[in-house]
Amino acid sequence: MKKILFVFFTLILSVSLSAESARDIMQTLRLRTTLSGLEAVSTLIIRNDRGNERVRTTVLASKSYPGDVEKRLIRFLEPADVRGMGMLIVDYGDRDDDMWVYMPASRKSRRIVSSEKSKSFMGSEFSNADMSAPNPDDFRDEIMGEEYLGDRLCWKIKSTPVSRTKEDEYGFLYKISWVTKSEFVSLRSEIYDFEGHLHKVLTIKDYEQIDAEKQRYLVTHMQIENTLDGRSSEMIMREYHYNPDVPDRYFSIGYLESP
């Protein structure tokens, strides 16, 4: 009987430590990709199932603040039909993010509610939620093992939303991520729909260490593919500048709505 109890409690302890380690990995991933400040010009490429493309040019500014807060402004420059559209994101480490979208035709910004975060970002396969770092408290994380992607040894981690509300907010049942053991950068994520089918695959094609002192990394090229309908989207950073002194005035509703 004592032997059975010992084995039982050993298994419970093992599962608990695994979950804690998985959470630590995902928290470190979030930290490693949080920059003090950044200004960038990016290209968003949206492809349909026939390979036809729509190309968007955006500018991005982001800045970190005390209390695990990151603010991000995205504004569209080209083509003419999307010029001036923008998004303001305030990313909190311990509660739900705040998001606003600005449409020049209405001349005012609109808050994005939680139920809209799983919706498409500007017609792409990326979601509005993809534009901010996920809150670790929104998921239960589990280490599924280790696996090489190319020459990179990765943890394979399953992340499941903690509630039905969070499932609806993120728009998936669970996702599996491959996180490098060397840099804590996610190279690939498989996203599964509410029926358990593989829905989307997010691939990090390139990244760069942009702050060596703090071991911070910037994803410069990523692609997401919809396995169900053949659509895909890419984000490529063409120009980027690490700048901890990004002006605070960028991160306001007034600036979002300015020409």
Q: What is the pLDDT of residues 14-31, one digit of tens each?
A: 444 344 599 999 999 999
User: Residue 129: which domain range?
Assistant: 2-256
Residue 7 has pLDDT above 60, yes or no: no
**Tens digits of per-residue pLDDT, 194-252?**
999 999 999 999 999 999 999 999 999 999 999 999 999 999 999 999 999 999 999 99
Total domains in the chain come to 1
Considering the entire predicted model, what is its pTM?
0.86
CATH of the domain at 86: 2.50.20.10
Looking at per-residue confidence, does 191 or 107 come out higher?
191
d(CA 195, CA 174): 10
DSSP the chain: -HHHHHHHHHHHHHHHHHHHHHHHHHHHHHHHT--SEEEEEEEEEEE-TT--EEEEEEEEEEEEETTTEEEEEEEEEESGGGTT-EEEEEEESSS--EEEEEETTTTEEEEPPGGGTTSBSTTSSSBGGGGSPPPGGGEEEEEEEEEEETTEEEEEEEEEESSHHHHHHHT-SEEEEEEETTT--EEEEEEE-TTS-EEEEEEEEEEEEEETTTTEEEEEEEEEEETTT--EEEEEEEEEEE-TT--GGGSSHHHHT--
Average pLDDT over residues 137-164: 96
